[in-house]
Amino acid sequence: MPGSAAEQRVRAAFAEQAGWCRTLGSPLTAQLCDLMAERPWPDTAVADRLRAWSGDPRASADAVPLRLGGGLHALVRRHAVPELAACYPPHPLPAPDSMWPPLVEALGHADLAQWLDGPPQTNEVGRSSALIAGLLAFASRFPLPISLMELGASAGLNLQLDRFRFNLGERHIGDASSLLQITPEWHGAPPPAASLEIAARAGVDQDPLDPALDSDRLLAFVWADQVQRIAQLEAALTIARAHPVAIDRDNAASWLETQLSAEPTTGVSRVVMHSIAFQYFSLETQARVEAAIEQAGAEATERTPLGWLSFERDGPGRDVYLRLRTWPGGEGRLLARCHPHGASISWLDAPAH
Ligand X SMILES: C[S@@+](CC[C@H](N)C(=O)[O-])C[C@H]1O[C@@H](n2cnc3c(N)ncnc32)[C@H](O)[C@@H]1O
Q: Which residues in this chain contact ligand X in the complex, by CB under 6 A?
A: 121-124, 127, 152-154, 204-207, 251-252, 275-277, 280-281, 285
CA-to-CA separations, 242 to 34, 42, 159, 160, in angstroms, rounded: 40, 44, 13, 10
CB 56 → ligand X: shortest distance, Å? Answer: 16
Task: Say how many Å lie between the first and final Cα of the chain, rounded.
Answer: 48
Q: How far is the CB of 19 from ligand X (least distance, A)?
A: 19
Give the C-alpha separation, 181 to 154, whole Å: 21
Nearer of residues 44 and 285 to ligand X, judged by Cβ: 285
By Cβ distance, which residue is nearest to ligand X? 152
Q: Minimal distance in Å, beta carbon 252 to ligand X?
A: 4
CA distances from residue 197 to 148, 201, 286 in whole angstroms, order as listed:
10, 11, 28
Q: How far is the CB of 3 from ligand X (least distance, A)?
A: 30
What is the smallest separation between the CB atom of 25 and ligand X, expressed in angstroms? Answer: 17
CA-wise closest residue to 183 among 209, 164, 200: 164
Tell the smallest beta-carbon distance from residue 205 to ligand X (Å).
Answer: 4
Nearer to ligand X, 199 or 276 (CB): 276
Side-chain half-sphere of 190: how many Cα atoms within 13 Å? 13
- Closest CB to ligand X among residues 35, 230: 230
**Dihedral of the alpha carbons of 326, 328, 330, 332, in degrees to the nearest 10:** -30
Of 161 and 224, the one with the shorter C-beta distance to ligand X is 161
What is the distance of C-alpha 135 from the center of its chain? Answer: 18
Nearer to ligand X, 56 or 83 (CB): 56
Q: Is 135 helix (H, G, I), strand (E, B) or coil?
A: helix
Decide: residue 123, CB within 10 A, 0-12 exposed, 13-18 middle, 19+ buried. buried
Nearest residue (CB) to ligand X, 123 versus 269: 123
